[in-house]
A and B are shown apart, each in its own frame.
Chain A
């Protein structure tokens, strides 16, 4: 490792970073995949959505799943902000910058995917101009855009803390003052997130023509509204922990104190635990009351097709729900390296699987008695455009990590151990 690179003046003081060539090579490798995604994106924009394998049965597919999943996983930003600034968990200050960055990546990616997904991208603004207040998507669009603006505001002071930018007095004071009022943005973010995470849950929950997705609820909100918000608050922090641990592995450095990780893991564990209880109650009520009232049985939703079986429900609720909750709630579980890795990976898979089921399985299940299951395999253009934001995220993390003081405890945690004091005293001989 060397700090004497061409760009060393931009690197945070005292931080050790890989040589510039290594950094650029890594950017080039990830960038190649990103360019592949950009090519596919332009194909979709110029040639239309016939580039996908979507059809009239599968109007929503891989992209909408990716959208819902990254928004859920990005929930770590709003929930960590809520815990730090509103609940007063000050320990999270060691992780909050990274949570904001991950959230920023997730939400900007979600907006990009939506821009590719719509049939007439140039008319995208109609959702604001001709807004239908009854539509869950309208609520999603408004809250998502506003929250992205909040995340941008939260990310700006981090950029301004770059070693060179921070030398400019105006930027220095601006960053300082923005940090000072961050609680207001954290509160705004938490409020907006409650609604857009919920509205995404409502997208499938309000479909009274689709018994698989439909849920009863309170007033205009189906139960999925609350379950989505809850699951995002529960599993989003797990994604933040997962990305942090991955970053530590790749950089071979300790970036966040264990105490901070364990605190977030504990809170996440209790959130997942309570969420999964609510999810089980919801599933039970849906299977025994809602679905039979529509003339169907739960077994019809999990049979007679090549993919969707009961295994998916067990995987989501038990293996990726109950198991991570139990691990994270137990002190021994969350403080063991293997336990923590297992739990956060399972939680991320669980919430992503939930979003898959609530988008793709909803459309796969036949509703007309004389109709059949619809299966779908994404085209390479869909896969490439889904990998595009992943690559963009990796690149933004690489740049931010290299040039911005994302981890306030990095220096302290990676300081070389002080040399042992030299004394003339001879060690006492061991008893013979």
Chain B
């Protein structure tokens, strides 16, 4: 969500005449968009603002913080940041900056209810984002979360699930495709709960995918539409059928599992069983056998002993994930689990992270090896720092490295023959058009 948020913040600031810089030391306005799930990024905020406030002695500087902020964080940040606002209040940022005037560390607090108001969220969506890329874009389709996973503070920072009108989403996708965007990611905390908050007055997530898919069928552009993150509770066969049926819906599914142990899943209040997760993966394998499967995992959550961790490892062996974003559990103030003892030692967490990463590598490599010799479409999206050669991603979001450089190919989808496979990436050569 932070990427989509930052594109909208950029749009607002550029509308005020600010220009983006990668150099903090020359900036006159510096801001942070915070995260709700892990505490570490919040800790980094404190380090950053201490440095920025030292710079204020030497130059005129306004600082702000937004994103997923707990009321408790806000109270602390008030003492250090000049501006604090919820993303739903983004439309008021220009007024805040104008009214702020002279820079002091006094801070600015808005009186507001604990939860953001729906009309403010709608106003945020109407801000035309300043896309940071000319070929990859993120489209928010939903704000907030109703799931109350015990490790996460999103329901307390972004409020309950609110779906963006489907017409706006389809229009934004269409606009992006017409602008030449090749990779479009639909964003939300639980994308597949899309529409459910409207009690029948909005289409479902599967129907939204169908509309985008139908548009894709009429477009002469090649593009891939992804979504993240779905929650297993609301994932259904209809969504998977849509992905299978429409070419523009990317054959890659990111399905957070968090743990492979039933007891830990209950403790996390994930609201899905392993049986449910397994049935979704079986549907994916049946309907879209070529799809890559990504997941999120938290190791070292309260209540995860070695036996529970072994169940997660066994799930990796069963589902053979292509990629897993594995995080060591860190208690986040505001999340329910913060009240519990963080009983798994840091060493054990590191050990489990390492072991699970090794398991993932085995299956990732096994899959990547099956791609050797094949020709596939690859979106060129970067340059390898060491070699200077191009890199890209295939439709399944596996990194592809090329022994080639041609600036004109940046942001284009081209054909590549895979020559070699490593555990997290592929190597290939450009197939002449």
- Say if A and B assemble together: no
